[in-house]
Every structure is written in structure tokens, then in C-alpha cells.
Structure 1
């Protein structure tokens, strides 16, 4: 599964109309709507703020006043064509005085998103099981040696009364091995499942 690493903005002009496309990483419909509302409010002076998103819990689009099917759907199709997920696209249009017609609008909104995608840093993401390992400070060195040995990645660290690491592995078998190896000096529990950059 592919997504963009960070937000990006690109701009094109077609027959005096300005099309500004912003792409944002997003995981849920709630995330997407929050981003859309923020941008739509910020650029409320625009003629249209059209949107499309594909996230873990669904997809959607909005023509925001453009003729039905001429903006949001072509934007969504551009995301699908590039096999992108966990992404929201917003195209802000400032009308330049020359009407583009239905076909012209479809091409303009599609092109605007494709242009932004071409300038984006695309990354592969996968769903990983995240485990939490909890241990005493004096076991730190041994724990880190074993994690390296079994090619287990640490994605978060916390140092309080005890040390706590969030860990993932490409091979679920390695988690079983490390659990067995370190069961006397640590506690390893499943925490959650998350979409993360491919390791």
C-alpha cells in the first residue's frame, strides 16, 4: 500500500483559473474531514474547495459547487490510478472568468491532483502488529542486543519506573522467539495494529 510521506502543495493555471492542490497524509475519515474543514475555512475566499480522500475506514469526494461529477470524482480517480491510500486531496479553485465546460473541469481537477502526486515523496506502508516490551533498566543492554539479533525494530521508547519499548518485526515468528528468550526479564504484550512505513 502506498501513501505520501508529508503534505505537499502544487499549483496550475488553466484559462486564467488557478487550481491549487494540497495533499495530506490521513488515516481515517475523521482525520480527512478535519483537514478539509481547516483548509476550506482558511481559503473560504476561493470559488471552490473540492475534495477526495481514501483512508482506512472509507473513501469519499465532494464537488463543492462544481457541476456534479466534474471535480471530486476525477480527483478520487487520480488517487486510485496511483494506488494511493491514507491520503486526502483538496483542490482550491479561483475562477479566472473563462468557463471550462464539464470536460475541461474533469481534466483540470484530475491534472491538478496528478501534478501534486508527481511532486510528492511516495512511500510504501504496511500494517504491523505492535508489541510493548517492559523491562528494568539494568536489563537494557541485553534487551537491545536481543532485539538487534532478531531484527526487531523499536518504534517508540519510554523511560519511567521501568523501560518500555514499542516494537515491530517483519517476521511474526521473531516476536515469538524473543518472547521465549526474554520471558524471565521482560513482559511483552500485543498493543495494537498500525499502518506504518514499510521496513
Structure 2
């Protein structure tokens, strides 16, 4: 999976119609609504502002008056093919006077987003895992050293009968972390997550 490091833009002309492809790194539908309102006010002469939002648990798409399936769905397909997430893709269309037909629209909208993707700086997204580590107070420093070694982040610590550390770690390193910490503390640790 990838996400955008910064917004990316491209413009294509097809039979005098202008298609402005835009990509924005976003994390929620509320952010997308604000960005879409901003884009619509910046382009009052546009005939269509079609969009696709891909966020964890909060996605959506809109053809904005274009024939169903000719704008947002092709844009969505490009984003999925590029393995993008947490992104708002927008194509602003200015009418050029010639109808493009369903196939022409599909190609135009997907090409506008593809061209914007070519200019985008992408960042790999690593899956994270949350762990809860419970150990004796005297071993907390060992847990913290192991966290440093695996670039894990201690997000919260609780003290009761034992020290409980809530940790966020790259998912691909979690099993190695668990094994090394268990060996280091000779099994005197409980790891959940």
C-alpha cells in the first residue's frame, strides 16, 4: 500500500474538453468534503467535479452528473491498481463542446488520474500492530530497550501489580519482537495483541 507525500496534479485535453486530475492525501470524509467545497469554489465554470475517496473505513465516489460508471469508477480502478490509500482523487471537467461517449469519458477520467499519479510522490504504508506487554517493574527497562531495537513506540504505560506497556510496532516485526523479548525475560512476560 502507498499514500501520497503531497498533492499531485495533471491536466489533459480531449476534443477541447479539459480534465484536471488532482490527488490529495486525506484521512476522512469530513476532510474530503472541505476539499471538494474548496475545489468547486475554485472552478465555478466546470461542468463536473467527479471524485473518489479511499480511506480506511470511510470511502466514497461520485460521478457528479456524468453517465453512471463513466467517471468515478474508472478513477477508482486507477487508485486500486496503483495500490493507493488515504487519498482523494478529483477530476474537474470543463466542457469542450464535443460529446465523448461512454468509452471516451471512461478513458478521459482514468487517464487524468493516471497522469496525476505519474507526478505523485508515493510513500509506502506499513501495517502497524498494537501490543500490550505486562512484566515486573524491574524488567520495564528491558522492554523499553527491546522497543528501541525494533523501532516500536510505547504509547502508554500503566502501573498496578505489574508494569503494562502499550506498544505500537510494525506488523512484520511483531513476531520477532515477541520472541526476543520472551527470551530476554526468560518467559517472565505476557504479550497480547
TM-score between both structures, scaled by the size of structure 1: 0.67
Contact 1:47–1:95 (8 Å) recurs in 2: yes
Q: Which runs of 4+ in 1 moved over 6 A?
A: 175-178
Matching residue within 164, 171, 174 for 2:173: 171
Contact 1:49–1:93 (8 Å) recurs in 2: yes
SS for the counterpart of 1:107 is: helix
Q: Deviations over 1:144-195 (max 9, x none)?
A: 987654x426699xxxxxxxxx9755634648988xx9xxxxxxxxxxxxxx
| C-alpha distance in 2 between matches for 1:30 and 1:90 | 15
- Kindly indicate whether residue 20 of structure 2 is the aligned counterpart of residue 36 of structure 1: no
Contact 1:20–1:112 (8 Å) recurs in 2: yes
Which region of structure 1 is more displaced relative to structure 2, 40-49 or 19-28? 40-49
User: Following TM superposition, by how much is the alpha carbon of 1:16 offset from its aligned partner in structure 2, in angstroms?
Assistant: 0.9
User: Following TM superposition, by how much is the alpha carbon of 1:37 offset from its aligned partner in structure 2, in angstroms?
Assistant: 2.2
Q: Which residue of 2 aligns with 1:60?
A: 60
Q: Which residue of 2 aligns with 1:152?
A: 151
Q: What stretches of structure 1 of length at least 5 have no aligned partner?
A: 132-143, 157-165, 182-199
User: Following TM superposition, by how much is the alpha carbon of 1:44 offset from its aligned partner in structure 2, in angstroms?
Assistant: 2.4
Q: Which residue of 1 aligns with 2:49?
A: 49
Q: Which protein is richer in strand relative to its size? A: 1
Q: What stretches of structure 2 of length at least 5 have no aligned partner?
A: 132-143, 156-166, 185-193
Q: Which residue of 1 aligns with 2:164?
A: none
Number of aligned positions between the proteins: 168
Q: Which residue of 2 aligns with 1:123?
A: 123
Please tell me whether Structure 1 or Structure 2 has the larger radius of gyration of its CA atoms: 2
TM-score between both structures, scaled by the size of structure 2: 0.69
- Kindly indicate whether residue 18 of structure 2 is the aligned counterpart of residue 18 of structure 1: yes
- Kindly indicate whether residue 83 of structure 2 is the aligned counterpart of residue 83 of structure 1: yes
Say what the alpha-carbon RMSD is for the aligned residues: 3.4
